[in-house]
Amino acid sequence: MFGIINFSAYLLAVLLLVLLPGPNMIYCLSVAGQYGTKTGWSAFAGIFVGNGVLIVASTFGASALLQTYPSLFNALQLAGGAYLAYLGIMLLREGWLKLHHAAAAKADSHTAEGTLLQVFRKSLTISLLNPQSLLFFPAIMVQFVDIRYEHPHLSFLLLGGTFQLCSLLCMGTLILMANSVGRVGTKYSRVAAFGKSGASALFIFFAAKLWLATAIV
The share of the chain scoring above pLDDT 70, in percent, equals: 59
pLDDT (average), residues 11-36:
80
Global pTM?
A: 0.66
Cα separation, 163 vs 169, in Å, equals 10
- Among 59-68, 82-91, 100-109, 140-149, the minimum mean pLDDT is found in 100-109
pLDDT (average), residues 39-44:
92
Residue 38 reports pLDDT greater than 80: yes
Residue 207 reports pLDDT greater than 70: no
150 confidence band (pLDDT: 50, 70, 90): confident
Give every CB contact of residue 115 below 8 A, 6+ residues apart in sequence. Answer: none
pLDDT (average), residues 188-207:
61
Nearest residue to 88 (alpha-carbon basis) of 202, 182, 193: 202
Share the mean pLDDT of the chain. 73
Residue 39 reports pLDDT greater than 80: yes
User: What stretches of the chain show up as alpha helix (H) in DSSP?
Assistant: 7-18, 23-35, 37-59, 62-68, 70-100, 102-113, 116-128, 131-141, 152-187, 189-216
104 confidence band (pLDDT: 50, 70, 90): very low
Residue 120 is predicted with a pLDDT of 94
Cα separation, 138 vs 105, in Å, equals 43
Instruction: Kindly list the distances between the CA atom of residue 189 and the CA atoms of 98, 157, 186, 202, in Å, as whole numbers in the listed order.
Output: 6, 45, 6, 20
Residue 160 CB neighbours (<10 A): 20
Residue 111 reports pLDDT greater than 50: no
Burial class (CB in 10 A: 0-12, 13-18, 19+), 117: exposed
Which pLDDT tens digit goes with each residue over 47-98?
999 999 988 887 777 556 655 676 766 776 677 667 667 767 776 776 666 6
Burial class (CB in 10 A: 0-12, 13-18, 19+), 146: middle
Residue 119 reports pLDDT greater than 60: yes
Cα separation, 154 vs 46, in Å, equals 24
Higher pLDDT, residue 179 or 171: 171
Query: 4 has which bridge partners?
Result: 145
Counting every residue written for the chain, the total comes to 217
Higher pLDDT, residue 82 or 183: 82
